Amino acid sequence: MKELTELIQEDMKEAFIKAGYDGDFAKVTVSKRPDLCEYQVNGAMAAAKKYKKSPLEIATSVVSCLNSSLIGKADVVSPGFINLTLDSKALSLYLEKMAEDEKFGLEPVKDPKNIMMDYGGPNVAKPLHVGHLRSAVIGESIKRILEFTGNKVIGDIHLGDWGTQMGLIITELKIRKPDLPYFDPEYTGDYPKEPPFTMAELEEIYPTASAKSKKDKEYHEKALEATRQLQDGRRGYVALWKHIMHLSVNDLKKNYERLNVSFDLWKGESDSKEYIGPMVEKMKADGFAYVSNGALVCDVSQESDKKTIPPCMLLKTDGAALYDTTDLATLVWRMKDYHPDRIIYVVDKRQELHFIQVFRCARKTGIVPDSTDLTFIGFGTMNGKDGHPFKTREGGVMRLSTLLDDVESKMLEKISSNDDMSEEEACDAAKKIALAAVKYGDLQNVASKDYIFDVDQFTAFEGNTGPYILYTIVRIKSILKKYKEKFGALPAISFGPADSGAARELELSISGFQRAVRQAADELAPSRICAYIYDLSEKLNKFYHETKILAIEDVRERENAVSLVRLAMNILNKCIDMLGFSAPDKM
Ligand code: ARG
């Protein structure tokens, strides 16, 4: 089903042509002055220049040639605007068609793409902290939006599992438990099945080791050497690495599940290791890679560069792989195994330079053909109320689980006055509302912007917040339940021409669904969906307050009203699903 603006535009185009003007002037936009009209066409102004006539004359003749079942009223306003108001019957018919379709009339994209998404990106053996929240939240939402619009999307978590942090952990463990068989180069037997540490120990070992290595040069050297030996395949280190991976991945899975974020692939930097050697050899043979100051690098600067873009670092002096290397080698297997049309990275915007380098190097060396698009979505920082990166009260890095716990208990407190809920229901609702608060608080912003994580604001039931959207849905759920209790089953969806301003505004807002989703998909911007559902919720609440649905006497009228709020609620539910959260039954 075509988008409403498109349909109106087709009719307007016909009118322009019939009146003797170029149909391209018939561009229709949603009105910026809803008090005057619903849609507008401003092309007569531009046409005036081409045809050397007054815009008013052009607009008048276009309107007189207009023959559209969609447009109820077309006014010409000085100096040549065409203000349009939809025909009420046509609008209800359009909504009826939307309601019948499981995608609410959204047409799947004409050429569906094979898309890979790289998001999440947690580092193994470090607790998941708030710094990794945005990538997961934004990435998951973009993935859902692109899938809903008809693309095939594969999400890959791209674990940070092959870098220096592994060498640091090995080094620290060797100091603490030197007698473990993993450190004995002569050892040839099987290694223990049980890991020599718990997850809690692991989470303590990493920061300790990291702090030590910053102060102690020798320690740092040892960690680098351990990293290199691991990457070289030293048996005992690989066995330790497997323990670390196993524990961490289980822990991460729990955390992401709680966030309602899921990945199709749990690959990591380490999965690129077998591709590194051949990739580097080929780059050398093709003349792209050369040794500079002992390291192997590949130039990626371009003449048009305004600032210096340093070369990609392929191998360190000691032969160890780097962040650039694993990202490039990851592209090798992604192209080979998945042939994506597009790869989208959702990563902190401070890593932009890294991705410029990697993308350029991948293109230059032929790892990624021109037919595959590489997109970097750099997100801003989540700050605390003080405007600095969000920290715990003590100034440390906040664990993601702690943050969620805090918001959940705040929500639980808030809804505890509702004695209509069992304890279990209340807990479930608190979890859902908390997730909505956190995710919506993030997604409503343009991703590249920094934002302030303000718990009080995000958890409010009023205003532009996740809980407000959920509250709107819950309200309608409850009305539908009461309707069923009073009148039996819900009526078949039916719409009649709106009989109040609030109903009309609600209808118009509903009809904008497809436009909002398209924009969100084209711009990879979940914030578009947030803006849409905030508007829809406002219109829905206004209608709800003005209309005592259950008390409407006329059956037909009552059924129309119920159909309207039901469709709006279904759309809200679909939209929050695309944002990655869901509504409770009560709150
Ligand atoms: N693990 C990285 C970090 O914490 C993020 C990974 C982003 N994805 C990538 N392909 N480099 O900074």
The three-point CA angle 326-331-335 to 5° equals 155
pLDDT exceeds 90 at position 269: yes
The confidence score (pLDDT) of residue 397 equals: 81
pLDDT exceeds 90 at position 571: yes
CB 4, CB 94: distance < 8 Å: yes
CA nearest 227: which of 157, 292, 172, 156? 172
- pTM for this prediction: 0.95
User: Which residue CA neighbors atom 5 of ligand 1 most closely?
Assistant: 121
Helix, strand, coil percentages, rounded to 5, for the chain: 55, 10, 35
The confidence score (pLDDT) of residue 497 equals: 85
The confidence score (pLDDT) of residue 419 equals: 83
The three-point CA angle 252-257-262 to 5° equals 90
Asked if residue 118 has its Cβ within 6 Å of ligand 1, the reply is yes
Q: Calculate mean pLDDT across residues 210-229.
A: 95
- The model's pLDDT over 278-308, given as tens digits with 9 standing for 90+, comes to 999 999 999 999 999 999 999 999 999 999 9
DSSP letters of 1-66?
---HHHHHHHHHHHHHHHTTS-GGG--EEE-S-TTT-SEEE-HHHHHHHHHTS-HHHHHHHHHHT-
User: Per-residue confidence at 431, pLDDT binned at 50, 70, 90?
Assistant: very high
The rounded mean pLDDT for the chain is 95
pLDDT exceeds 80 at position 342: yes
Asked if residue 251 has its Cβ within 6 Å of ligand 1, the reply is no
The confidence score (pLDDT) of residue 336 equals: 98
Report DSSP state, residue 321: B
CB 569, CB 428: distance < 8 Å: no
Instruction: Compute, in angstroms, the gap from residue 458 CA to the centroid of ligand 1.
Output: 27
CB 78, CB 56: distance < 8 Å: yes
Instruction: Compute, in angstroms, the gap from residue 158 CA to the centroid of ligand 1.
Output: 7
User: Which residue CA neighbors atom 8 of ligand 1 most closely?
Assistant: 121
The confidence score (pLDDT) of residue 587 equals: 93
Asked if residue 327 has its Cβ within 6 Å of ligand 1, the reply is yes
CA distance 165 to 383: 26
The confidence score (pLDDT) of residue 301 equals: 96
Instruction: Compute, in angstroms, the gap from residue 94 CA to the centroid of ligand 1.
Output: 45
In the chain, pLDDT over 70 holds for what percent of residues? Answer: 100
Instruction: Compute, in angstroms, the gap from residue 302 CA to the centroid of ligand 1.
Output: 25
CB 415, CB 421: distance < 8 Å: yes
CA nearest 407: which of 430, 387, 429, 385? 430
The confidence score (pLDDT) of residue 456 equals: 93
Listed in sequence order, the residues at least 6 apart from 233 whose beta carbon sits closer than 8 Å to its beta carbon are none
Asked if residue 117 has its Cβ within 6 Å of ligand 1, the reply is no
Q: 347 is written with which tokens?
A: 């990563």
Asked if residue 121 has its Cβ within 6 Å of ligand 1, the reply is yes
Listed in sequence order, the residues at least 6 apart from 7 whose beta carbon sits closer than 8 Å to its beta carbon are 70
Asked if residue 156 has its Cβ within 6 Å of ligand 1, the reply is no
- The model's pLDDT over 119-132, given as tens digits with 9 standing for 90+, comes to 999 999 887 888 78
Asked if residue 129 has its Cβ within 6 Å of ligand 1, the reply is no
The confidence score (pLDDT) of residue 550 equals: 95
Q: Calculate mean pLDDT across residues 568-574.
A: 98
CA distance 567 to 468: 18
Q: Calculate mean pLDDT across residues 172-192.
A: 96
Q: Which residue of 138, 351, 353 sits with most ligand 1 atoms within 8 Å of its CB, as the best mutation to test the pocket?
A: 351
The confidence score (pLDDT) of residue 171 equals: 97
Query: SS3 of 186, please?
Result: coil
CB 187, CB 181: distance < 8 Å: yes
User: Per-residue confidence at 352, pLDDT binned at 50, 70, 90?
Assistant: very high
CA distance 172 to 122: 21
- The model's pLDDT over 271-282, given as tens digits with 9 standing for 90+, comes to 999 999 999 999
CB atoms within 10 A of CB 136: 27
pLDDT exceeds 90 at position 260: yes
pLDDT exceeds 90 at position 398: no
CB atoms within 10 A of CB 58: 26
Q: Calculate mean pLDDT across residues 382-399.
A: 85
The confidence score (pLDDT) of residue 484 equals: 96
E strands, 130-229, are: 152-156
Listed in sequence order, the residues at least 6 apart from 151 whose beta carbon sits closer than 8 Å to its beta carbon are 109, 112, 113, 114, 115
In the chain, pLDDT over 90 holds for what percent of residues? Answer: 90
pLDDT exceeds 90 at position 320: no
Residue 491, H or E segment: none
Q: Calculate mean pLDDT across residues 490-505.
A: 90
Q: Calculate mean pLDDT across residues 472-490.
A: 96
Asked if residue 131 has its Cβ within 6 Å of ligand 1, the reply is no
The confidence score (pLDDT) of residue 498 equals: 83
CA distance 127 to 400: 8
The confidence score (pLDDT) of residue 500 equals: 87
CA distance 69 to 91: 10
Alpha helices in 376-525, H assignment, sequence order: 400-415, 423-443, 455-458, 466-487, 501-511, 513-523
For residue 354, the ligand 1 atom closest to its alpha carbon is 11
